[in-house]
Amino acid sequence: MPATISVTDLHKSYGDIHAVDGVSFEVDEGEFLGILGPNGAGKTTTLEIVEGLRRADSGQVRVLGESPWPRNTRLLPRIGVQLQASSFFERLTAREQINTFASLYGVPAKRADQMLETVGLVEKATTRTENLSGGQAQRLSIACALVHDPDVVFLDEPTSGLDPQGRRNLWDLLRDINRQGRTVVLTTHYLDEAEALCDRVAIMDLGKILEIGPPASLVRGLDAPTRISVETGAASEEEARSLFPDAEVSDDGVSLTIATRSPAAVLSELAERNALHGLSVKGATLEDVFLNLTGREYRA
Amino acid sequence: MRAGLSSLSLAIARGFFRDRTALFFTVLFPLMFLVLFGGIFKDQTASRSEVVQIGPVSLLDDIRPAARAQVDEVLKVDRIDDRAAALERVRKGEVDAAVEEEPGGRIVLHYSAADAVKAGTVRGLFNSLVQSGNLTRAGVTSPAYRLETAQVEDESLKTIQYITPGLLGWAVATGAMFGAALTLVTWRQKKLLRRLRLSPVGVSTIAGARVLVSIVIALVQTAIFIGVASVPYFGLKLSAYWWMAIPLIIVGTLSFLSLGLLAGSFSKTPEAATAIANLIVLPMAFLSGAFFPLEGAPPWLQTISRFLPLRHLVDGMQAVMVRGQGPGDVLPQLGILLGFAVVVSAIAIALFRWEDA
């Protein structure tokens, strides 16, 4: 079966800037793909080309077997795009908003009300969108993108500007959407979001995909050291250095940190010495993957 | 996409009627001008002279009851016996003149030269009163000459007749221009245009919804304006083919919508769009004779005004609403407005952008 989305050697330039510089990837049916990268990495432009909002300079895009450019009215009812939370009609209530979008797709109002329930906005149905909180507006805009039951959903930085609680709520909603069998493509500049939600992550920088794969295997493939911290004083810095000659040891006066590629040996040695006070173990994250790929710290 | 058209229209209409600022500037604000102008200049054409009478004046006292009503139409007489107080009132301009009778049939009229028109009117009035008094004394009941006057209403329109089509035209222009410009700019800025582009409805449906709502708003404005101007206090008298104003308003709305689209094409923010729309609408209203007649304006100004759609809308509406001209007389205006809409829309479409670059 062909992939739900296939992108081959995509290029897009604005003047001298190669916003998208040879991007290729595929997304299977029901998959949750995250496109991760700092601002200006080219992820939004890539997404816009796939959605059919922009024309690529070269390369091929197929979504559900169709070309999204020029504007393809056979494809449009099958994809749902969530834009920023401000893309609403002025002075309409949440229900009027979603009903308007529903009728653009010929979807009955009943289904729109159901969608409002799915995103937990029933009690806000008669509130004007201008008076919704950031998280509520985000959820409404996702509901508007899903009201016509699309097969593929595109989300562009859905959680930016939300508080931690709002982000968690939205993550649950996005997982549900994916669990219903929809293919989801999301861009984000939050590493933890990509790790928490996506089946696969494409890491983009300067218009190129640097690495693509499941977050766990990207991190594992990194062969990055595990950071083991205990309370300062549980063991002295010199002691730790002599015990673990291969590890990197540092003490900032609060915690003694041992960065090692053989965490099991270190942990059992520390346990034997009863030196596990305030223990914390941190594996590598996508942040380390990004650092390793670009040689730069990740800055969102 | 019939469903798309009606739901988009409904969304736009709800947005408009819930926007107090927009309602104020498209309906209430022009209406305030109508009430203001209509009220201030209401009595301009039939103003009575006011006179105070000092002591007994047989010329006025002896007017027969039959003639009294006729005199009352043009003259309001109060009696004050204090001569100094009466003259003071004339000096202050509270009354037009003071009249007293001296022995020997001498009628003395005290007037102020401060208001030459009123002074002239009141002098002429008393001249004729004196003459008809003399004729009555002489026993002449059927004089050889009599002057009758008739006003040609359609050449010098009463104020309300003139300002209703003018201010209505201005209101319609404001509503349609700001509607189109602000919808385009805010929808583009909020990426709502992009969102609609990703839905299956076409551009023509989106534009059609905006046109439909603007026409409805213009017709609501028309109904309110005619309704208010027709109350007896203002006294608007519509002529037979007033309903021809409806097609005029519709094509007028189309041409202002196209101008609004053009203004919106050049603006990135709603603030800029408002400024540009204002820069077009206000001078256009002045130059089109929406506020005052253009008859006295220099020829070059008249020439400029012929390039403005509002001029032709106002001309056309005056012709059918108050001058009593027939449907055929406004065909040129209808054609010009339609042509204007087509040409300017074509330019606006060429400049159209779905989103900010």
Domain boundaries, chain B: 2-41+155-350, 49-138
Higher local confidence (pLDDT), B47 or A289: A289
In a domain, A293, yes or no: no
pLDDT digits (tens, 9 = 90+) for B279-321: 999 999 999 989 888 877 888 988 999 999 999 999 999 999 9
Q: What are the structure tokens assigned to B210, written together?
A: 């905006």
| CATH code assigned at A248 | 3.30.70
The burial class, CB within 10 Å (0-12 / 13-18 / 19+), for A131 is exposed
For B357, name the nearest residue in chain A, comparing CA atoms only: A14
Q: How many cross-chain Cβ pairs, A to B, lie less than 8 Å apart?
A: 69
The helix or strand, by DSSP H or E, that contains position B138, with its residue range, turns out to be: helix B116-138
Higher local confidence (pLDDT), B41 or B344: B344
Q: Which residues of A touch B190 (CB under 8 A)?
A: 84, 86-88
Mean pLDDT of chain A: 89
Of the candidates B4, B15, B200, the beta carbon closest to that of A90 is on B15
A229 min Cα distance to partner chain B (Å): 47
Confidence of residue B357 (pLDDT cuts 50, 70, 90): low
Tell me, yes or no, whether A93 and A197 share the same domain.
yes
* Calpha distance B204→A2 (Å, rounded): 35
Residue B209: the pLDDT is: 95
Residue B148: the pLDDT is: 62
Share of chain B above pLDDT 90, in %: 51
In a domain, A294, yes or no: no
| CATH code assigned at A199 | 3.40.50.300
B150 min Cα distance to partner chain A (Å): 55
Tell me, yes or no, whether A44 and A191 share the same domain.
yes
Q: Which residues of A touch B208 (CB under 8 A)?
A: none
Q: Provide the domain limits for residue A272.
A: 225-283
Q: Which CB contacts under 8 angstroms, 24+ apart, belong to A270-275?
A: A270/A228, A270/A230, A270/A234, A270/A235, A273/A235, A275/A230, A275/A234, A275/A235
Q: Is residue A137 over pLDDT 70? A: yes
Q: Is residue B149 over pLDDT 90? A: no
Q: Which residues of B touch A100 (CB under 8 A)?
A: 7-8, 10-11
Tell me, yes or no, whether A201 and A277 share the same domain.
no
In a domain, A67, yes or no: yes
* Calpha distance A54→A45 (Å, rounded): 8
Spell out which chain A residues touch chain B, with contact meaning CB-CB distance below 8 angstroms: 51-53, 71, 73, 76-77, 79, 81, 83-84, 86-92, 96, 99-101, 103-106, 144
Q: Which residues of A touch B4 (CB under 8 A)?
A: 103-104
Tell me, yes or no, whether A194 and A95 share the same domain.
yes
A179 min Cα distance to partner chain B (Å): 24
Tell me, yes or no, whether A34 and A103 share the same domain.
yes
pLDDT digits (tens, 9 = 90+) for B111-120: 888 777 778 8
For the segment A49-63, the average pLDDT, to the nearest whole number, is 94
Q: Is residue B40 over pLDDT 60? A: yes
Chain A interface, mutation test: which of B199, B213, B355, most A Cβ atoms within 10 Å? B199
B166 min Cα distance to partner chain A (Å): 31
With CB atoms and an 8 Å threshold, state whether A92 touches B3: no
Residue B155: the pLDDT is: 43
For the segment A76-90, the average pLDDT, to the nearest whole number, is 88
Tell me, yes or no, whether A35 and A177 share the same domain.
yes
With CB atoms and an 8 Å threshold, state whether B200 touches A105: yes
* Lowest model confidence (mean pLDDT) among A135-139, B59-63, B212-216, B314-318: B59-63
Q: Which residues of B touch A106 (CB under 8 A)?
A: 1, 3
Count up the domains in chain A and report the number: 2
Spell out which chain B residues touch chain A, with contact meaning CB-CB distance below 8 angstroms: 1, 3-4, 6-8, 10-12, 14-15, 18-19, 186, 190-192, 194-201
B198 min Cα distance to partner chain A (Å): 6
Mean pLDDT of chain B: 87
Higher local confidence (pLDDT), B75 or A62: A62
Of the candidates A79, A100, A105, the beta carbon closest to that of B11 is on A100
Beta-sheet strands, E only, within chain A: 5-14, 17-27, 32-36, 58-63, 79-82, 152-156, 183-188, 200-205, 208-213, 226-231, 248-251, 255-260, 280-282
Tell me, yes or no, whether A157 and A10 share the same domain.
yes
pLDDT digits (tens, 9 = 90+) for A157-180: 888 778 888 888 889 989 999 999
In a domain, A181, yes or no: yes
Higher local confidence (pLDDT), A128 or B159: A128
CATH 3.40.190.10 fits B49-138, yes or no: yes
Tell me, yes or no, whether A242 and A177 share the same domain.
no
Last residue of a domain, one of A188, A220, A252: A220
Last residue of a domain, one of A220, A239, A262: A220
Tell me, yes or no, whether A168 and A129 share the same domain.
yes
Q: Which residues of A touch B201 (CB under 8 A)?
A: 104
For the segment A56-79, the average pLDDT, to the nearest whole number, is 94
For the segment A199-214, the average pLDDT, to the nearest whole number, is 93
Tell me, yes or no, whether A207 and A231 share the same domain.
no
Q: By 3-state DSSP, what share of chain A in percent is helix, strand and coil, each rounded to 5? A: 35, 25, 35
Residue B297: the pLDDT is: 83
The residues, ordered by sequence, that sit 6+ positions from B114 with a Cβ below 8 Å of its Cβ are B93
Share of chain B above pLDDT 70, in %: 94
In a domain, A289, yes or no: no
Tell me, yes or no, whether A167 and A237 share the same domain.
no
A251 min Cα distance to partner chain B (Å): 50
For the segment A4-31, the average pLDDT, to the nearest whole number, is 94
With CB atoms and an 8 Å threshold, state whether A104 touches B186: no
For the segment A55-70, the average pLDDT, to the nearest whole number, is 94
Residue B156: the pLDDT is: 47
Q: Is residue B164 over pLDDT 60? A: yes
The helix or strand, by DSSP H or E, that contains position B50, with its residue range, turns out to be: strand B49-54
* Lowest model confidence (mean pLDDT) among A113-122, A258-267, A280-289, B232-241: A280-289
